[in-house]
């Protein structure tokens, strides 16, 4: 508990969450730590939400803007959205209540590449940050902050905000000290230097972040776990997707295009991504490395099974069981996991240098390989782009994985034209569904369309896609260009049909 604050002067700043929330005023811009359900403050958001509700009951205005690392949890994003305490949110979320607020037009949301967040904070595009609210494991004798299970944008939050509120969470293993690698020298051009990471596990910074005690408004003691969502046991579809990714990587090793230990792996969030990692447990590769943003159960188990040597991430996002395994084995894991600021975990320069293999999930892809990972039917925000774009454009390999249909078959994940573009045909290299895989490297749009339709689409939609493509080829000839054939008025009609009838198939 309070012994986690080893700096004597800072112990005097301890107070309750309700007392600390009094520093937060209507209209403020907050930088709040948190990344995929890890490292977010546990007590302050509820105290701020209560303050907002009390103000609203009196007919007063009370909302704040909030920039995090990525998604948080019901007791952070959820309570604030529920209290209608947010007017702005960036850069990534996955909370149902917040999502509804965004889609109802109540909360302005900027969805952006995670690697861009810290530099935009530094440049001042978000305006001034009044207060940073940061979760930490401990504060050292000389006043250094040891972050929690995730760093995200925490370093920039602390440096950039006028004032600081720290939550020290006693539920966190003290063994986390030593896992973080704080490198905060990215700066702004024209004064940038190369980031000196040449191997995925290179340590280039310090374990803690020095803070200015005068900036600290309050320290709040908490004792509760992270979001710790459970993963579903990989189902048949996920297993089939995972098996194809692994077979393909094996094929690349045999063809001499990848080393036997592969290249550093990045894996996105969700069950399919986790299934790929689980599949690697029995795959013929050894000494794997991870260079990712979120480290989930699958990667942890690869490290514990000694299939993976080391992993670098910005956050640890575990199920309750995996968290127990992590805490039990923390001494073994200490020199095998590094946590970095997200500006480093997602840095294009580093990802390109290391040759990271990126694997992310999508909502839909079109027949040419453009990918939508954020919007349902073109207009409804799901979660956000997160780090998927950082790894897709800059990775050595970039995979997009998804079941070939959604909502019981009423939606095809392969469509004539994506209803929103996140990753373009120029970035995406492989599309994998349970039906098969399309290797798009070195292929023209028309060659890609054949592969994606024949290999990846669901049989219920394959003839519809073939028919669209054949007619588009003829019509585009008349329109004067068949490089990327389309029927412009029909390209998004599948989505429109779903909006009107609840099914993309023609009844």
Smallest gap from Cβ 187 to ligand 0RQ, in A, equals: 24
Cα 213 → chain centroid? 31
Q: Shortest CA distance to 175 belongs to which of 341, 339, 337, 327? A: 327
Of 51 and 153, the one with the shorter C-beta distance to ligand 0RQ is 153
Whether 383 contacts 374, CB under 8 Å: yes
Taking the C-alpha atoms of residue 20 and residue 41, their distance in angstroms, rounded to an integer, is: 12
CB of 289 to ligand 0RQ, least distance (A): 18
| Tokens representing residue 254 in the block | 């045999």
The answer to whether 293 is a known catalytic residue is yes
Nearest-angstrom CA–CA distance, 287 and 285: 7
Q: Residue 138 or residue 370: which is nearer to ligand 0RQ going by CB?
A: 370
Interface with ligand 0RQ (CB under 6 A): 36, 70, 92, 114, 268-272, 293-294, 360-364, 373, 376, 382-383, 385-388, 403, 406-407, 411, 413
Question: How many whole angstroms separate alpha carbon 311 and alpha carbon 319?
Answer: 18
| Least distance (Å) between residue 406 CB and ligand 0RQ | 4
Residue nearest to ligand 0RQ (CB): 386
Helix (H), strand (E) at residue 9 = helix 8-11
1 alpha-carbon distance from chain centroid? 31
Q: Which is nearer to ligand 0RQ, 190 or 408 (CB)?
A: 408
Q: Quote the least distance from Cβ 268 to ligand 0RQ, whole Å.
A: 4
Q: Which of 293, 364, 425, 434 is catalytic?
A: 293
Min. distance of Cβ 322 from ligand 0RQ in angstroms? 17
The DSSP call for residue 233 is P
Pull the structure tokens for residue 171: 């539920």
Nearest CB to ligand 0RQ, comparing residues 24 and 401:
401
The distance of closest approach from Cβ of residue 223 to ligand 0RQ in the complex, given in angstroms and rounded to an integer, is: 26
Which sign, positive or negative, has the C-alpha torsion 203, 205, 210, 215?
A: negative
- The DSSP-derived string for 62-126 is --EEEE-SS---IIIIIHHHHTT-EEEEES----HHHHHHHHTTSSEE----GGGHHHHHHHTTT
DSSP assignment string, 365-398: EETTS-EESSEETTTEE-S--TTHHHHHHHSSEE
Angstrom distance (rounded) from CA 233 to CA 143 = 43
| Minimum CB–partner distance for residue 437 and ligand 0RQ (Å) | 17
Nearer to ligand 0RQ, 94 or 138 (CB): 94
Using the minimum distance from each CB to ligand 0RQ, give the nearer residue, 271 or 493: 271
Q: In terms of CB distance, is 32 or 114 closer to ligand 0RQ?
A: 114
Bond from prior residue into 190 cis (ω within 30 degrees of 0): yes
Q: How far is CA 138 from CA 88, 167, 209, 315, in A?
A: 30, 9, 11, 17
Residue with tokens 């947010």: 86
Catalytic site positions = 293
């Amino acid at each position: 508990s309070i012994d986690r604050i080893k700096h004597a002067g800072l112990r005097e700043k301890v107070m309750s969450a309700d007392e600390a929330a009094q520093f937060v005023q209507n209209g403020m811009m907050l930088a709040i730590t948190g990344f995929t359900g890890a490292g977010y403050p546990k007590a302050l958001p509820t105290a701020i939400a209560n303050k907002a509700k009390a103000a609203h009951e009196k007919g007063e205005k009370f909302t704040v803007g909030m920039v995090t690392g990525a998604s948080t949890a019901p007791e952070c994003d959820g309570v604030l959205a529920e209290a209608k305490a947010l007017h702005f949110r960036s850069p990534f979320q996955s909370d149902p209540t917040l999502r509804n607020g965004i889609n109802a037009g109540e909360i302005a949301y900027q969805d952006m590449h995670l690697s861009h967040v810290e530099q935009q904070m530094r440049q001042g595009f978000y305006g001034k940050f009044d207060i940073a609210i940061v979760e930490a494991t401990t504060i050292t004798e000389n006043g250094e902050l040891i972050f929690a299970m995730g760093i995200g944008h925490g370093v920039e939050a602390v440096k950039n905000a006028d004032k600081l509120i720290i939550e020290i969470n006693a539920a966190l293993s003290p063994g986390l000290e030593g896992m973080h690698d704080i490198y905060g020298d990215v700066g702004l051009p024209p004064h940038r230097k190369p980031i000196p990471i040449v191997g995925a596990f290179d340590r280039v910074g310090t374990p803690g972040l020095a803070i200015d005690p005068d900036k600290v408004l309050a320290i709040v003691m908490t004792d509760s776990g992270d979001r710790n969502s459970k993963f579903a046991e990989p189902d048949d579809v996920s297993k089939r997707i995972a098996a194809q990714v692994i077979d393909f990587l094996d094929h690349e090793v045999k063809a001499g295009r990848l080393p036997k230990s592969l290249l550093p792996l990045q894996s996105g969030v969700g069950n399919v991504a986790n299934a790929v990692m689980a599949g690697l447990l029995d795959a013929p590769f050894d000494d794997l490395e991870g260079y990712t943003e979120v480290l989930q159960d699958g990667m942890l188990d690869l490290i514990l099974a000694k299939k993976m040597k080391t992993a670098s991430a910005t956050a640890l996002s575990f199920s309750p069981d995996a968290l127990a395994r992590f805490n039990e084995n923390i001494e073994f894991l200490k020199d095998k996991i590094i946590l970095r600021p997200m500006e480093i975990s997602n840095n294009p320069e580093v990802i390109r240098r290391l040759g990271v293999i990126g694997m992310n999930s999508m909502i839909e892809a079109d027949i040419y390989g453009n990918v939508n990972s954020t919007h349902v039917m073109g207009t409804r925000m799901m979660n956000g782009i997160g780090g998927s774009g950082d790894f897709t454009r800059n990775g050595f390999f970039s995979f997009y994985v998804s079941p070939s249909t959604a909502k019981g078959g009423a939606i095809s994940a392969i469509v004539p034209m994506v209803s929103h573009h996140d990753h373009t045909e120029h970035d995406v290299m492989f599309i994998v569904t349970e039906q098969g895989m399309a290797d798009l490297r070195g292929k023209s749009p028309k060659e890609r369309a054949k592969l994606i339709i024949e290999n990846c689409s669901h049989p219920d939609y394959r003839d519809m896609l073939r028919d669209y493509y054949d007619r588009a080829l003829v019509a585009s000839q008349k329109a004067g260009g068949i490089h990327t054939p389309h029927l412009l008025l029909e390209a998004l009609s599948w989505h429109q049909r779903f909006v009107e009838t609840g099914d993309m198939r023609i009844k």
